Amino acid sequence: MKRKFLVSSLLVTGLTLSSILPVSYAHDELGDINIEKGQRNLDEIRSVPVTEGSKNVKYLHETAAVPLKEIRDGVQNRTADVYAHKGFAYTGTHTANGGNGGVRVFDLKDPSNPKEVAVFAHNDIPGTWQEKVIVKTVNTKDFQGDLAVVSVQQLDVKNPDSKGGFLLYDVTNPYEPKKLGFYEVTKKTKGTHELYLTTQGNRVLVLAANPYADYYSHGLEKDFQLVDVTNPSEPKKLYEFDPRSLPEVSEDFDGYNWNAPDGKKRPVFNHSAYADETGKTAFLSFWDLGTIILDISDPENVKYEGRTTFASNQQGSAHSVALAKGGTVLVETREVYAPIKLGYEKSYGYTRLFDIKDKNDPKLLSEFKTDLTENISEDPSKQVTFAKTVHDPKVQGNTLYLSHYAGGIRAVDISNPSEPVQIGKYVPADAYIWGVFVDQNYVLASDMGSGLKVLQKKN
């Protein structure tokens, strides 16, 4: 098949505006919407509806807001995702001011006064940015300690000194991270976007989402790759998922464009990857193909189990997932930033909950929408925005936390996953929340404009 490249694609009052946030990686760069994630329309932010109250999330209150340190004179990096491990917060960084902001490590001994104590992965590969970081304690014959995996994406694939993939670091001593290894994906793609680190006994695996690897490598590499990092200095690829292996996809796919059974041409690429607590089941966010569920209990013999699907009038945009109810409920967020598209419902991205007790047949339980979902400007120039779409999900007990860009963080009661109910929201001034992470005693938020936010339970 001849390939054709397409055009590249709030609980506060008196919301004020900060400086324009950084331009960033386009999540659907091959599509017909030429917008980059993280760029916000200031007029559109002004129109985000405001509700009465404070910026607390019911039983949580903000105790800290810490900007990132400048690691190069005059260069202020912006936060991307956030993760916590053993009392330390790890924030990725975005593309602002040339990228290469690395991963920032914060000591949370006093959560009301986090201290940035280290930076790593910033000088390894020029012309890149480090969005996602996951940290786990592992114990193998090759490595014992706390292992960090960091996504690496190229700012410009034409830069001969740049390459994408993921880095592996020893953060057993968070004050002195040590580089262990690097895994490279095809130079033709920007690199690894989102990823996950999991263990199976004494085996350590990275689930890597490399958007458009299939398309740009003409099928030589695939968007999802399962990599053995038991020896972090020698990563080994074990498996790649090919959407063409699904009967409903087959030859109706050129590495990006899918002629779906509903008669629509839909974008298909792997945006994110996640594993359950056992490390035996993988969940791949494959945009308009839905969430792919794989049995990876035997990494050399991976088996497809099932996937979520969309109504014909729904834009897909499966962005990322979380699990609830002991792994029997799947939370799927959909990053729809262009709410008006011919043949589809008028809506920004919202969250869906599925019963996955039978992974071969996920059953839709409910759809959760916010006050922003259907608040669409009449001005076409203001309609395409990330400000109003949901982004990442995290779950603690029966509470779902959603990062929501200008919509801040939404707390949702999912005691009954068939009837999710918003119980609070946190929207600081100039909110542009990328990621959220839930620990036992606090909730962390990475605000692209102002750094790390810490929410703690009220006394």
- How many other C-beta atoms lie within 10 A of the C-beta of residue 3? 12
58 pLDDT band, cuts 50/70/90, is confident
Question: Does 203 have pLDDT greater than 60?
Answer: yes
- pLDDT tens, 334-347? 999 999 999 999 99
- Alpha-carbon distance 315 to 262, whole Å? 12
Domain spanning 42-457: CATH superfamily: YVTN repeat-like/Quinoprotein amine dehydrogenase (2.130.10.10)
302: pLDDT confidence band, cut at 50, 70 and 90?
Answer: very high
Higher pLDDT, 270 or 6: 270
For residues 225-253, give the mean pLDDT.
95
Locate 355 and state its tokens. Answer: 């019963």
What is the spatial distance between Cα 208 and Cα 38, in angstroms, rounded to a whole number? 22
Structure-token pair, residue 162: 């740049």
Mean pLDDT of the region 398-414: 95
Lookup result for tokens 């098949």: 1
Gap between the Cα atoms of 195 and 396, Å rounded: 21
Name 107's bridge partners: 88, 115
Amino acid letter, residue 23: V
Can you tell me which residue has the tokens 């005691």?
415
How far is Cα 210 from Cα 194, in angstroms, rounded to an integer? 8
Type of residue found at 203: R
Strands 318-324 and 115-120: unpaired
Whose tokens are 């990132």? That residue is: 68
Encode 337-383 in three state secondary structure: CCCCCCCCCCCCCCEEEEECCCCCCCEEEEEECCCCCCCCCCCHHHC
pLDDT band at 73 (very low <50, low <70, confident <90, very high): confident
Cα separation, 94 vs 202, in Å, equals 33
Regarding pTM above 0.85, the answer is yes
Q: In terms of Cα–Cα distance, which of 431, 435, 400, 386 is closest to 151? A: 435
- Give the Cα separation of 375 and 377 in Å (integer): 7
Q: Is residue 251 predicted with pLDDT exceeding 90? A: no
Closest to 215 measured CA to CA, from 237, 183, 189, 238: 189
Cα-flanking dihedrals φ and ψ of residue 141, to 5°? -65, -20
Per-residue confidence (pLDDT) for residue 310, from 0 to 100:
97
Half-sphere exposure for 177 (CA within 13 Å, toward CB):
27
Q: Which residue has the tokens 């750094």?
A: 451
Q: What is the pLDDT of residue 49?
A: 57
Tokens representing 255 are 């590495």
Q: What is the DSSP letter of 331?
A: E
Span 212-236, pLDDT tens digits: 999 999 999 999 999 999 999 999 9
| Kind of pairing between the strands at 409-413 and 421-426 | antiparallel
With residue 112 as reference, give the H or E element that holds it.
none
Cα 36 off chain centre by: 15
Please report, for the chain, the start and end positions of each structural domain, with discontinuous segments joined by +. 42-457
Amino acid in position 190: K
Q: Confidence band (pLDDT; 50, 70, 90) for 450?
A: confident
Query: Phi/psi at 50 (nearest 5 deg)?
Result: -115, 135
Separation of alpha carbons 443 and 238, rounded Å: 35
pLDDT band at 33 (very low <50, low <70, confident <90, very high): low
Residues 6+ apart with CB under 8 A from 360: 305, 306
10 Å Cβ neighbour count for 340? Answer: 13
Does residue 255 contact residue 215 with C-beta atoms inside 8 Å? Answer: yes
Instruction: Tell me the C-alpha distance between 179 and 161, whole Å.
Output: 19
From 82-86, 158-162, 248-252, 407-411, the region with the lowest mean pLDDT: 248-252
Q: State mean pLDDT over 47-67.
A: 73
Judged against a pLDDT cut of 90, whether residue 8 lies above it is answered with no
CA atoms within 13 A on the CB side of 393: 31
Nearest-CA neighbor of 206 among 295, 274, 306, 129?
274
Q: What is the identity of the amino acid at 310? A: F
CA distance 82 to 68: 13
| DSSP-derived secondary structure for 237-280 | EEEEE-GGGSTTTTTSBSSSEEE-TTS-EEE----EEEE-TTS-
pLDDT number for residue 15: 26
Asked if residue 164 has pLDDT above 90, the reply is yes
pLDDT of amino acid 159:
92
Strand order in the sheet with 281-285: 272-275, 281-285, 291-295, 303-307
Cα-Cα end-to-end distance for the chain: 63
What value does the mean pLDDT take over residues 385-407? Answer: 95
Q: Alpha-carbon distance 182 to 169, whole Å? A: 9
Length of the chain, in residues = 459
Give the sign of the dihedral formed by CA 374, CA 378, CA 381, CA 382. negative
